[in-house]
């Protein structure tokens, strides 16, 4: 963008603002006899700047730009989140190996989404779309690309897992609990079975369970302090969000299983715990679910027994109650009929039995 002013000597000054690497630079020149000359100079400066930017990026692949963008803007993310961005980069290389940044269009973007969505869930497609869009919007804001190719891209993908497959029903969870309890009698402090048992009784994330230490157990007050987690590389990190740092009450049965352990409580890998769970599910003949589903099953059990949703949200370490509502919408909807009946009974009893 250029501005033009007339000096006291009757000449013209031109000032041009150009953006480079996210920062604005001011270029100016004065002494032009006419405004037309000033405009011509400013136009040449802007055109030259565009050419320099174009020359810098004209042979850069979309994958190369995305990788540089991640290094610049996403370098301080948690490793699990970095893994997701690396996954997006891998898919750009796979589906768009030779596409150049400056040539990438809305049509190219939509075709990528259509192709990727053929065998990926909408949730997964949305993550890839969001990551690529962030990078391209920054490229557009920096003047690297002339048009924004992220506008009105339609999301497609498979249905993914239904809510039914993300939870164990109460009876199934009870069967699993008894099965694991028996295994812990046979194999005291077995790490994989103990991890499953902790998840059933607390709803803790697998990374939080893997990082759990004996010092985090308060047997007197019957609580567990959740204040750290392990990532997929077994590096200690902070919990997922600030609200994930929490102290939760635990029952006597779980405390009994935790007695006598010094140091790491369940020194097991995500894969190991998942493999043991898969074996248990097969032997019990119950619904096949992931380890993470035990966390949802714990919350579902509490809500089905009438525990307040605000407490459940805090116990699970959700960032806010809206997250809890989103996760357990299916359960809340199933309770709607009984709640409506209860409401009708209250209305009848209150307004008919009370005298004014």
Nearest Cα to 270, choosing from 201, 229, 210, 191?
210
**What's the pLDDT score for residue 240?**
60
Backbone angles phi and psi of 317, in degrees to 5: 80, 30
Nearest Cα to 297, choosing from 175, 212, 183, 213?
175
**What's the pLDDT score for residue 57?**
84
Tokens standing for residue 53: 């930017």
Measured in whole angstroms, how far is the alpha carbon of residue 319 from the centre of its chain?
A: 12
**What's the pLDDT score for residue 219?**
95
**What's the pLDDT score for residue 205?**
92
The rounded average pLDDT for each run of 10 residues, N- to C-terminus, in the chain (356 residues) is 79 78 72 83 69 71 94 76 87 94 95 93 92 94 89 86 72 95 93 96 93 95 91 69 85 95 91 94 93 91 88 90 79 65 77 61
**What's the pLDDT score for residue 252?**
95
Residues shown for the chain:
356
**What's the pLDDT score for residue 323?**
80
Q: Is 320:313 a contact under the CB 8 Å cutoff?
A: yes
CA distance 30 to 6: 9
**What's the pLDDT score for residue 160?**
62
Tokens standing for residue 237: 């990190």
């Amino acid at each position: 963008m250029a501005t033009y002013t007339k000096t006291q000597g009757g000449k013209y000054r031109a000032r041009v603002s150009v953006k480079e690497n996210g920062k604005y630079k001011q270029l100016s020149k004065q002494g032009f006899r006419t405004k037309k000359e000033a405009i011509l100079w400013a136009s040449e400066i802007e055109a030259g700047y565009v050419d320099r930017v174009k020359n810098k990026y004209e042979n850069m692949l979309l994958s190369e730009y995305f990788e540089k963008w991640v290094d610049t803007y996403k370098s301080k993310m948690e490793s699990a989140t970095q893994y997701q961005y690396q996954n997006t980069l891998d898919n750009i290389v796979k589906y768009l190996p030779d596409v150049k940044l400056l040539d990438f269009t809305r049509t190219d973007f939509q075709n990528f989404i259509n192709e990727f969505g053929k065998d990926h869930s909408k949730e997964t497609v949305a993550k890839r779309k969001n990551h690529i869009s962030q990078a391209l919007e920054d490229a557009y804001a920096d003047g690297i690309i002339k048009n924004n190719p992220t506008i009105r891209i339609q999301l497609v993908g498979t249905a993914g897992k239904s809510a039914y497959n993300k939870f164990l029903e109460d009876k199934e969870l009870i069967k699993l609990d008894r099965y694991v309890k028996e295994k812990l009698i046979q194999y005291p402090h077995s790490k994989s079975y103990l991890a499953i048992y902790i998840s059933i009784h607390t709803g803790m994330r697998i990374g939080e369970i893997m990082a759990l230490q004996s010092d985090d157990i308060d047997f007197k007050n019957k609580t567990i302090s959740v204040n750290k987690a392990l990532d997929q590389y077994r590096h200690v990190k902070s919990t997922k969000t600030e609200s994930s740092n929490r102290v939760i009450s635990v029952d006597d049965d779980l405390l009994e299983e935790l007695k006598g352990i010094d140091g790491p409580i369940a020194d097991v890998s995500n894969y190991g715990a998942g493999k043991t769970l898969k074996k248990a599910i097969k032997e019990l003949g119950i619904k096949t679910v992931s380890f993470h589903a035990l966390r949802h099953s714990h919350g579902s059990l509490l809500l089905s027994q009438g525990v307040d949703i605000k407490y459940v949200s805090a116990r699970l370490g959700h960032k806010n109650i809206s997250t809890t509502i989103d996760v357990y919408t299916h359960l809340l909807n199933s309770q709607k009929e009984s709640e409506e009946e209860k409401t009708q009974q209250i209305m009848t009893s209150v307004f008919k039995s009370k005298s004014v």
